[in-house]
Amino acid sequence: MKKIAWLLALMFLFASLAALAEAPAAIDNPTLAFAGRWADPNFGRASLRIAHVYFEDAPEDELDYDVKITWGNTYNSVGVWQMTARWDEASGKLVYENGVMSIVTADDEGEGGEEVLWDDAAGAFFFAEDGTLRWEDSREERAAEFRLERVVTGTPAAGDFADKYFLPVANVEFGTAGSSLKQAILARDVVRFAYDNDLWNTDIGSLREAMLAAWESLDDDARARFDENLMGVVGDLANGIFWDYDSLAGRFEDAGVGEDAAFLSADTDASLSWATLFANTLTIGNSED
C-alpha cells in the first residue's frame, strides 16, 4: 500500500509540474495553490509547511495535505502544530479537525521530549483578497493574526547537480569488493541531496534549467551510464527508501547509513523532494529536450 500511495503521489507530481510550467504566475487549481512553505514577516520564528500527499487510508482519488507549523519559543523549545487537511470546495478552504499542538524541547545533549497540549483543534487555511494565506484555529487564538506569504527555496547550482547527483550515479561501482554497500550509500546520498536542498519547494523552472545545464555538461558515456544506473540499482534503492524500506533496512544498516535512511523514509519533505528530483530527471535530465 505504501508503494501504491507513493506512486500515486509521483503521478500527481508529474501533473503538477506540467501545470506549474504552463501557468507559474496564476495557479487556480486548489490542490496546487496551498502546497509549499509559508511565513509571516511579523512572526519571524514561525513557519508553515503544507505538503500534498496521498495517505494510505484515503481513497486513491483524494488528495490530502500534511500540514506542520513550527514556532520557536526559546533556544531549546519549539511549538509544533500538526494537522491533516482536505480541500473543501464549498468554503474554498483547506479544513481540518483533530489538530495537534505540542511543545518539543531538547537539552544541551540533544535529549528532549514532547508535551501535547491539545489534540482536538479544528480550523482552516484560506486565501484572503490581498493574496496572503490566512489561518483560523479553534484553539490557537494567535492564528488570526497571521498574514502568510510563500517562501520559495533557492535552487542548487548546475555544478551541484553534476557533482552530487549525475556523476556519482554515473560512476557508481559494480562487481568490486564493497560495491553493494557503496550503492546503498549512494542511494541514501542522492535522496539526502534532494532533501537537504528542499527540492519540492524550489522554483520548478529554475530547477529544470539547472538540471539541464548539468546534464549537458556530461559526455555521452556518462549520460548512458547514468541512465542505466538510475533506472537500475540506484533508482531501485532510492525509491525503495519510500516504497518498502523495511525490506531494504538491512542493506542500508550494513552500509552504515541505516539510521539516516530510516529517518528519510518517514519524512514527508524527503519523499516529496526525491519525487521532484526523480520526476524532473525522467522528464528532463535524461532527454534531449
Region of 175 (left: φ > 0; alpha: ψ -120 to 50; beta: rest) is left
**What is the per-residue pLDDT for 76?**
78
So what's the pLDDT on residue 10?
Answer: 53
Identify whether the C-beta of residue 96 lies closer than 8 Å to the C-beta of residue 69.
no
pLDDT at 3: 43
Rounded CA gap, 61 and 172, in Å? 38
Confidence of residue 109 (pLDDT cuts 50, 70, 90): low
Residue 51 lies in a domain: yes
Q: Is the per-residue pLDDT at 39 higher than 70?
A: yes
The model's pTM is 0.82
Tell me how far the alpha carbon of residue 23 is from its chain's centroid: 22
Confirm whether 22 is domain-assigned. Answer: no
How many CA atoms, within 13 angstroms, populate the side-chain half-sphere of residue 74?
8
* Highest-confidence segment of 87-91, 139-143, 154-158, 270-274: 154-158
Give the closest residue to 14 by CA, choosing from 232, 242, 284, 283: 283
Q: From 121, 151, 181, give the residue that closes a domain.
A: 151
Number of domains in the chain: 2
Whether residue 194 sits in one domain with residue 108: no
Q: At 24, is the pLDDT very low, low, confident or very high (cuts 50, 70, 90)?
A: very low
CA 32 to chain centre: 14
The pLDDT, as a whole number, for residue 42 is 85
The verdict on residue 58 lying in a domain is yes
Task: Give the helix/strand (H/E) hosting 104.
Answer: strand 93-106
Task: Domain of residue 232: give its range.
Answer: 158-285
pLDDT of residue 63: 66
pLDDT score of 176 more than 90: no
- Domain presence at residue 47: yes
Question: Mean pLDDT over all residues of the chain?
Answer: 85
* One domain for residues 172 and 196: yes
pLDDT (mean) for 60-85: 83
Neighbours of 95 (CB within 10 A): 18
